[in-house]
Amino acid sequence: MTREEQIAELEKVLQGRALQGSESLKAFLRFVALKAIDHQDTQLKEYTIATEVFGRSSDYNSRVDSVVRVQAGRLRAKLQEYYTTEGRDDKVMIDLPKGHYTPVFSYIQKTNGSPSAKEASAGVISSVSQPRVLQDRWWSALVAGLAVLVLVLGVFAFSYRSEARRLKESAAREAAISAEAQAAAPLWGNLLGSPEPFLVVFSNTLFEGSAEVGMKLFKPLDSPGTSPGSPALSQNIAAEGHQPVIEHYTGIGEVMGVYFLSDFFNKVKHPFRVKRSLLLTWDDLKTENIVVLGSPAENFFLRDLPQKQDFVFRVLKDEKQHETYGVINTRPKEGEQRSYWARQEGPSRSQITEDYAVVSLLQGLDPKNRLLILAGITTLATQAAAEYVTRPEYIKDLIDHLNTAPTGRPPQLPPNFQVLVKVKVNGGVPVHVSYLTHHVL
């Protein structure tokens, strides 16, 4: 076969419809065909083709990048497509045997005319095409199998990356939680050290009356307390001849406080349970670590605690000599006020602009337990007190003020103390909490 015949067939294939739009395959075929025609096929190595045809760098690694093998498979399929369609009457055929990159030029019908063109075509089908069809079917099956394998590997890689990302994010969350728990340790450390769950108690006080005739707090603000537990209260009511108490009440701030506490306990991974104050018993107070939401106005049992406190809730007189409920400082230090009350810009509690709360860490009825009381003059300040002991920036502020450790040592807080905080309120929402003073008990 002459060089001219080979060049002519190469150009026919390159101009054919099968390779239109596949410039990379054209470049591939032209490169390997011309090398074969010029008897330079010893240069047809995978590395040479990758760098000179497909623009790979000098550090090309065929084990990592399979571009030549993939493109060779595509070129074989395109050559088959050409010779079964527009090139079926060509006299010369270009083939790229599998496992090699040197193309083979061969006649597909005799040139002396002994068989006719139609007979030659039939001969090609019987003597050449049928083995190629079987070979191509095998190749198609192999390609399909490889495609499935690539898909499976792709899914596995995606799942692996997703799992790795999830584990990384989980580790970051764990580190953040650990850091938050460590930062809160000076305040919560002794409480969190117990494996027993916290008991979170929210105020659920009794009112007498109804919405139609009016409701009032069952127990006056300045009266003594009583034993916890609604059954005992019900018996007292019947014995004293009071009208039936038909309503229970829980403030908005207590509800929000439960949310802040539960979110905090979940972050530091400590168990807790919730109970309303009317169901609390003295046995609970003796055996549990307890966080109480609400003041003695709603939680009657707080009026009977044995430990003496410096900041107490009482009925007092404001600057206009009106009776109101507030906090009395029984042992004022230099520069401290003796009494604190909520300020409002109208007759409604929804118009409060300034409020106060007391955070008290007391010894439980059993010395090994602790009682943390988060009590505001109003329900809004109770919510603020819950935020003050659960939000990292507020916890840091509290620890900075109460720290008794020498400089350079880990922070340490007194075992029993009370902290008075001031609460700024806008539109019925506590928007800022600031430290005022504290007393060590």
pLDDT tens per residue, range 145-193:
888 888 888 888 887 877 777 777 666 555 555 677 788 888 887 777 7
Query: Scanning the structure block, which residue is given the tokens 């107490």?
Result: 312
Q: State the pTM of this model.
A: 0.58
Residues of the chain short of pLDDT 50, as ranges, are: 110-111, 113-130, 230-239
CB atoms within 10 A of CB 425: 23
CA-closest candidate to residue 389, choices 435, 431, 344: 435
* Host domain of residue 260: 194-440
The predicted pLDDT at position 178 comes to 63
Could you tell me if residue 204 is inside a domain?
yes
How is residue 348 written in tokens?
A: 């409604």
Could you tell me if residue 187 is inside a domain?
no
Could you tell me if residue 21 is inside a domain?
yes
The predicted pLDDT at position 177 comes to 53
Structural domains of the chain, count: 2
Within this chain, do residues 341 and 208 fall inside the same structural domain, yes or no?
A: yes
Within this chain, do residues 202 and 142 fall inside the same structural domain, yes or no?
A: no
Q: CA-to-CA distance for 268 and 272, rounded, in angstroms? A: 11
The predicted pLDDT at position 321 comes to 86
Could you tell me if residue 181 is inside a domain?
no
pLDDT tens per residue, range 341-386:
999 888 777 789 999 999 999 988 888 888 999 999 999 999 999 9
The predicted pLDDT at position 172 comes to 59
Within this chain, do residues 144 and 240 fall inside the same structural domain, yes or no?
A: no
Within this chain, do residues 244 and 108 fall inside the same structural domain, yes or no?
A: no
The predicted pLDDT at position 125 comes to 39
pLDDT tens per residue, range 291-307:
999 998 888 888 888 88
The 8-class DSSP code of residue 350 comes to: G
- Which of 131, 157, 183 lies at the terminal end of a domain, its last residue? 157
The predicted pLDDT at position 118 comes to 39
Could you tell me if residue 165 is inside a domain?
no
The 8-class DSSP code of residue 197 comes to: P
CA-closest candidate to residue 291, choices 269, 316, 270, 273: 273
Could you tell me if residue 169 is inside a domain?
no
